[in-house]
Structure 1
């Protein structure tokens, strides 16, 4: 499949224009993402219709807490990534050669309609580097009455993002840090494009944010404060998921402590309406009205609406940022 968003150069080279890396790729070589290859001066997608894994997940696992709580969704993923985070949780499919299988569009749609699924979540690896496939499937899914969810690092250029967004119903965007230095050293990327993605996406579709907290790297009070204030500058009702780090891939630092996560939540809650902790068993991740603390969604088992009517809190009438 020939890629969208690239330009041809002299000497049979091409420049990819999909993500901020803007890789210049020699004939026969691949870009940083490992899935876009120059073949005789044309940029080809190597993972079009190729799936490494699929599963039915609770929507809360994406994590999306304010988008059809309690529902299931078909999750599909391919291989490759345009960042190289030292703590990558899915490094086997992001940075290594992975077994994949070709799958027909009709089969994906059939799976997306099965087992009570509300749609398709493009996840596991970085879905935006499979732009052509995700764009194609998102339009097809919509025509079949399915929802489209993008779980992404947000590292995509503005023009392709604008083309994709009208077909996306919800996004979880991984904001790894509010510091550019963290992106450069730990993720081999830049912060600004991710901030731009969040700003643009939040104006077009439902957005939730994940921040994986690594003690000593992005966990200081000052950084959490800055991150929360930046999100507030867009919309304080954007949910954020502060997630526990576990040693993975190249990073062997100790796992994030419970106290560090609680501290981060306390700081973020001063600025944001909905702050959750992820990857911690047994913690209270119910949704409460930020105005009167009435229970809106109970998550003792799976998401269950309790105190909402016409998008408002049953107790005080406050508008709740939730799609159901």
Structure 2
């Protein structure tokens, strides 16, 4: 079996699942989700598990009963106790020959498939490189089908995208990125990306997605047609990812969320523009997060 330690928001969960899926196919085995991070953080305003919007039938390790639920909510010191309890459960699932594989760096680790071969495995990390799972793209696209039906404004936007000749998803990530280690992409990046795509395909129709739409409306200026998609909230934010994936071309932020919106795009001639720099505080690293055929600016 492949046990995967899930953490953080939807984009990160998808990366973590994608490697687990690749290893599960390699080993002809099942996937189990370690839900400990979400049990620990659900009362502290952290992001919650979101993969249930996709058709997945994975088992979950969940040690929290009513007593633990009460303790996690009101007693801060129980977090480490709970984590130990969850880890004990995972060790029992892996058995004596199971291995724990922890991510060593942000870049692709070619040893992971071989270390995991024919073993029970527990994965801990972000695994943000398609090199881990590019060979199972067809299977992942089948798994990452959005279950909720499109409706209302999202349905009309999807139809608008389909009726455009060159719809381009443009993602601006601000808000939670301000004053963090992530490098906030500036207007210069977006202007260069728009210029690059228009030089390649001619006039485009921009569909702008952001967690700071007011800033985007005030600052993003271009001669191209702009549509600001501002109807979704954090609860149904996955709809933004779905709409991104319907676009023909993509201008992503340094964000796993728009990364997946672009990766799931199925246009054979798609152009994806990504920022050269992923983190603000590093000169190198994250070299493998952007697929080789995408354009770095």
TM over 0.5: no
Q: In proportion to residue count, which structure has more helix?
A: 2
Relative to the length of structure 2, the TM-score reads 0.28
Relative to the length of structure 1, the TM-score reads 0.26
Higher relative contact order (CA 8 A, sep 6+): 2
